[in-house]
Amino acid sequence: MLDLKLKGITLYGGVLDGARCSEQEVILEGPADTGKTLGLLYKLHKLALKREGAQLSILRKVRAHLYGTVLVTWKRDILPLLPEGYTLRPFGGETPLHYTYPNGPDPAKPYEGGSRIWLGGLDNPGQTLSGERDIIYVVQAEEITVSDWEYLIRMTSGRGAQLKRTQTIGCCNPASQTHWIMQRWNKGNGPLKLFKTTHKDNPSIFDPETGQLTESGQRRLAALQRLTGHRL
């Protein structure tokens, strides 16, 4: 089982259960700000640290949408977790194509053969999906089609994998019962494992010891509760 304790990050509830799951198809479902994205970014980061040569991808439907959302969380919450003196090598400037970890087989050239996390979009897969991947994480999976999802499953078939269990994983906002995600889950009888997340899974919103709303949580939930229609 993946050890999900590293430098002050602890996952809770559905976020923890979904991040720990090693089945081939996994999606975390829930409203905004439950910690889904952070939990799955942390999973990939921990695996990249531990497994030399692992090839992991983080995708959105549109590549440009990745950098103002997911990359912000990555830089703010994941990069500060790096061990002291441990530096990732980005390739591509402000919109990097990938980050390489210095855990290659030759200590004199640690970035050669090191594990790598690719960043991209299904609108322009390019090098991001140019070969087999150990894990592909799709952010806002409700944006993609079932054909997109099954294409990604082919990319994580296990051929040439560095990890024992390859996966296609994702996070999504609540989907209607007719959405392909819900149909693929099929009330727990389909190939997709679906994990429900709530705001109680986010320790910055609900104190995990007392179960009470934090001051920050009160402000954030108040803003979300002002939404209307399907956004609410």
- Could you tell me if residue 94 is inside a domain? yes
- Could you tell me if residue 8 is inside a domain? no
- Could you tell me if residue 134 is inside a domain? yes
The DSSP code sequence of 33-89 is: TSSHHHHHHHHHHHHHHHSTT-EEEEEESSTHHHHTTHHHHIIIIIGGGSPTT---E
- Could you tell me if residue 19 is inside a domain? no
For residue 159, what is the domain's CATH number? 3.40.50.300
Total number of domains in the chain: 1
- Could you tell me if residue 158 is inside a domain? yes
- Could you tell me if residue 108 is inside a domain? yes
pLDDT tens-digit profile, the chain (232 residues) = 455 555 668 999 999 999 999 999 999 999 999 999 999 999 999 999 999 999 999 999 999 999 999 999 999 999 999 988 899 999 998 899 999 999 999 999 999 999 999 999 998 777 667 778 999 999 999 999 999 999 999 999 988 788 999 999 999 997 788 999 999 999 999 999 999 999 999 999 998 889 899 999 889 888 888 888 777 7
Structure tokens that stand for 67 in this block: 């950098």
For 146, the domain range is 34-176
- Could you tell me if residue 197 is inside a domain? no
- Could you tell me if residue 83 is inside a domain? yes
pTM: 0.93
Cβ–Cβ under 8 Å, residues 159 and 138: no
